[in-house]
Amino acid sequence: EKTDAERSEKSSRHVRALVETALAVRKRYAEKKREENLLDFSDLEHFALKALCDERVKKAVREKYKYVFVDEYQDVNGVQESIISAVSDNNLFMVGDVKQSIYGFRGCRPEIFGGKLEDMKARGEKTVLLNHNFRSAAEVINAVNAIFSYSMTKESSGTDYAGGSMLISGGVFPEEERGRAELHLLINE
């Protein structure tokens, strides 16, 4: 039987190997892009941000657009947030729902959206919560609210679902189509 120290050392070797492999792949990927004279989406983001660091460029972009609209704001990453901040000047309109944030694997940070919402409310700026759901019956909405109220807390996900994100049933359904929710647990023993 292995000791904790032995397991930790083995795990550490695996992590180091994984990191070395990831760094080698990243280096080779960058070399291949240079060889082929190609850019990926991340490169475009970083070059855009670099260009916007020039005050003349930033001023020209800001003057060109009357409004800046961003959809799916819950899925922005730090670079995108910096770009959005650079091109907007008290003319930003954002739409997002932190409950629908799905791009954590590519660096999105839903806490940016949550922080922006809190800051706007603190400054007395206009915010609109789109919590009414017209597609689902009340029974389904109630089940969703029960699950998310329990699982989406400020500590666990950066948002207090019960404190302001709960859905409100707005749909009108015939009695025979009022909906239902079931939870099936599959336990593998």
**pTM, two decimal places:** 0.74
Query: Tokens in use for 17?
Result: 């190997």
Cα dihedral: 50, 55, 61, 62 (round 10): 130
Reported as a pLDDT band with limits 50, 70 and 90, residue 110 is confident
Q: Which residue has the higher pLDDT, 48 or 117?
A: 48
Q: How far apart are CA 62 and CA 53, in angstroms?
A: 13
Which among 29, 54, 24, 53 has a CA at the least distance from the CA of 43? Answer: 29
Count of beta carbons in the 10 Å neighbourhood of residue 178: 12
pLDDT digits (tens, 9 = 90+) for 33-49: 999 999 999 999 999 99
The three-state (H, E, C) secondary structure of 21-60, written as one string? HHHHHHHHHHHHHHHHCCCCHHHHHHHHHHHHCCHHHHHH
**Of the spans 73-82, 111-120, 156-165, which averages the highest pLDDT?**
73-82
C-beta of residue 83 within 8 angstroms of C-beta of residue 48: yes
pLDDT digits (tens, 9 = 90+) for 134-146: 988 889 999 999 9
Query: Tokens in use for 82?
Result: 């910096």
pLDDT of residue 167: 92
